[in-house]
Amino acid sequence: LSGLLAQAQQMQAQLAANQAQLENDRVSGQAGGGLVQATVTGTGELVGLQIDPKAADPNDTETLADLVLAAYRDASNQAARLQQQVMGPLAQGLGGLGSPGA
């Protein structure tokens, strides 16, 4: 039982470290051939947005809004892949915590 408790505490510490890493990691997504670029943390928080002046047509703000959304979605997808890389092995370990033979 003490071994199981120690293993759970170790996994909890690793989970906290991985979460901190994701909060500091940055990934970017783009749309419109790079006219709009969004930067998010590994946890998916939007922390930066760059818009090329060519994308800012005052007569067509709908296209700009679509580009911003597409860039954010691209960055969010990359953040989700990063989360899977960082947290995936740990999540698999959590799944086996209560299984027979563990």
pLDDT digits (tens, 9 = 90+) for 78-100: 999 998 988 876 666 555 444 34
pLDDT at 70: 97
Q: Residue 35: which residues within 8 A CB-CB, separation 6 or more?
A: 51, 52, 54, 55, 67
Cross-strand pairs, 28: 39
pLDDT digits (tens, 9 = 90+) for 6-59: 888 888 888 888 889 899 999 999 999 999 999 999 999 999 999 999 999 999
